[in-house]
Amino acid sequence: MFNLLSAGTGYTGPTIVATRDTFEAMLEAAHELLPVYYYDLDADHPGCADLITKYGSVYMIEPANRR
């Protein structure tokens, strides 16, 4: 299971936006749900990625058991 998380603000922590069974399905769903402008696969943490929308919002994909 993988979560798509909003990065939150200085006052709130990350919020789960969506959950999918596989990383690939979560990445595909992220592109369907958000106007993704850029994403970066995290080479140091398999199954993780950072995404930036065309509006500058930051999101993350992480394994569901990571937090």
CA atoms within 13 A on the CB side of 45: 10
For residue range 9-61, what is the model confidence (pLDDT) as tens digits?
A: 778 888 999 999 999 999 999 999 999 999 999 999 989 999 999 999 999 99
Considering the entire predicted model, what is its pTM?
A: 0.88
CA 59 to chain centre: 5
Q: How many domains does the chain contain in total?
A: 1
Tell me if 4 sits within 8 A of 23, measured CB to CB.
no
53 pairs with which residues across the strands? 36
Strands 2-6 and 58-63: antiparallel
Range of the domain at 31: 2-63
Q: Provide the pLDDT confidence category of residue 67 given band limits of 50, 70 and 90.
A: low
Tell me if 26 sits within 8 A of 4, measured CB to CB.
yes
